[in-house]
Amino acid sequence: MVKMSALGDIIHALPVLDYLHQVLPGIEVDWVVEEPFRDILEGNPLISQLHVVRTKVWRKKPFSAATRREIRAVRNALQARDYDRVFDIQGNLKSGLVDWLSGAENRIGFSQETLQESINLLFTTQQVPVRRHDYHITDQYLRLVSVSFGKDFSTLKLSSDIHTSHEDDEVAGALLSTLSDGLVFLFHYGTTWQTKFWFQEGWIQLGKSLLEKYPDSTILLSWGNESERVVVTGLAAGIGTGARILDRYSLKGLTALLKKVDLVVGGDTGPTHIAAAVGTPTVSLYRASDGKRSGPRGACHVIVQSPLSCTSCFRTECDKDEECRRSITVESMTKAVEKALAG
């Protein structure tokens, strides 16, 4: 499996592991991943071996002795496994180079219309087209892999999970033991694109609404960098009593906590998808991205898409950014929370 980044996309690919083990019990599956995301996959019992790459570091110093040494080590580790098949569900230049380094004869990737970068075609020996109704990104990954085995993934009940240690689970449990007995909501404000954020007053009003509707509840606010920490500090102050800012967590530590809360509210971002992968109900908002394509699926997951006609534009900047943020109303998010909890 070559799926190196990004966090949300790696999580969307997790059901592929369950599929492979169901169709061929005893199969050994290795995974190639970028170093920042290794925590999501480490300890997963469905993965035999994890190959960690550092392409961002290598690009900065492509001709250094250290870069050459690391690439050579990855190549040797891949070729030592003598793979029957390589599935490239990344679809760009860097994943294609990993395909080639593996030395495998059968390297299966997407056809041109699905690829992120067409140059990937040079490195795969079989290209799989995506069917029209395989719109969700997870179904596209499953489609690519399932062709080799002749077993339709839609006939199987597939699951995903992220391994956490006993210590991570204990830390998460200890935190929750300090909270009141009501529901525990987790708000994750941050995301990668400016066109994926929600407006700050919306978070505050949503928090107040939920605390009023669900007495004795707690709203935890997570953050990923210093600028986000500053913002969520203001959000917590605006929400008032019942809101609590979390410390900075590792991916494993955050995952352990996401397993234990009652519901997660966030944008199209890693923590939202982690929560869905471990079975926690979610409410997620979508503006520039498409919730039907990448949002969590199931009765306990509710997607709120911007009603603007230009939604799902996949633009990272827009002169209508503020209008788009406010097009998702507090009322619609509150109703979504109620629906997710009922589901």
Backbone angles phi, psi at 126, to 5 degrees: -140, 135
Q: Is 318 within 8 Å of 324 (Cβ atoms)?
A: yes
Please give the average per-residue pLDDT across 306-329, as a whole number. 96
Q: Rounded to whole angstroms, how far apart are CA atoms 299 and 205?
A: 25
221 & 78 share domain: no
Please check whether residues 118 and 191 belong to one and the same domain. Answer: no
Q: Are 144 and 257 part of one and the same domain?
A: no
Q: Give the domain extent around 209.
A: 168-342
Rounded Cα distance, 309 and 98, in Å: 40
* Neighbour-count burial of 186, counting CB atoms closer than 10 A to its CB (0-12 exposed, 13-18 middle, 19+ buried): buried
Average pLDDT score over residue span 144-167: 95
Residues 235 and 119 reside in one and the same domain: no
State mean pLDDT over 270-274.
96
User: For residue 160, is it within any domain?
Assistant: no
Dump the DSSP string for 13-69. HTHHHHHHHHHSTT---EEEEEGGGHHHHTT-TT-SEEEEE-HHHHHHSTTSHHHHH
- Flag whether 102 is in a domain: yes
Q: Considering the chain, what percentage of its residues have pLDDT values greater than 90?
A: 97
Same-domain check for residues 245 and 218: yes
pLDDT digits (tens, 9 = 90+) for 77-98: 999 999 999 999 999 999 999 9
pLDDT mean over 229-242: 97
Shared-domain flag, residues 118 and 30: yes
> Of the residues 125, 155, 185, which one is the last residue of a structural domain?
155
Q: Both 276 and 299 in a single domain?
A: yes
Q: For the chain, what is the mean pLDDT?
A: 96
Task: Please indicate, yes or no, whether residues 73 and 185 belong to a single structural domain of this protein.
Answer: no
Distance separating alpha carbons of residues 53 and 245, to the nearest angstrom:
33
pLDDT value of position 44:
97
Asked whether residue 54 is assigned to any structural domain, the reply reads yes
Choosing from 126, 155, 184, the residue where a domain stops is 155
* Helices 200-213 and 226-239: angle between axes, nearest 10 degrees: 40
Displacement of CA 152 from its chain's centroid (Å): 24
pLDDT of 65 above 90: yes
Question: Within this chain, do residues 316 and 338 fall inside the same structural domain, yes or no?
Answer: yes
Residue 89 lies in a domain: yes
Run of H or E including 87 = strand 86-87
Phi, psi (deg, nearest 5) at residue 93:
-65, -45
Here the tokens at position 76 are 């040797």
Residue 221: strand pairing partners? 187, 245
Which band of pLDDT confidence, cut at 50, 70 and 90, is reported for residue 131? confident
Same domain, 176 and 151: no
Instruction: Tell me what pLDDT residue 133 has.
Output: 80
Q: Is residue 2 part of a domain?
A: no
Phi, psi (deg, nearest 5) at residue 283: -125, 120
pLDDT bucket at 132, cuts 50 / 70 / 90:
confident
pLDDT at residue 177, rounded to an integer: 96
**pLDDT tens per residue across span 32-59:** 999 999 999 999 999 999 999 999 999 9
Measured between its terminal Cα atoms, the distance across the chain in Å is 33
Q: For a pLDDT cut of 70, what percent of the chain falls above it?
A: 100
Decide if 161 is inside a domain: no
pLDDT at 246: 97
Cα–Cα nearest to 101, from 76, 66, 126: 76
In the chain, how long is the greatest CA-to-CA distance?
A: 61
| CA separation for the pair 45, 198 (Å, rounded) | 36
Domain CATH for 233:
3.40.50.2000
Q: Which of 155, 186, 211 corresponds to the end of one domain? A: 155
Please check whether residues 139 and 260 belong to one and the same domain: no
The total number of structural domains that make up the chain: 2
- Overall residue count recorded for the chain in this entry: 343
Establish if 46 belongs to a structural domain. Answer: yes
Say if residue 191 is in the same domain as residue 84.
no
Identify whether 248 is part of a domain: yes
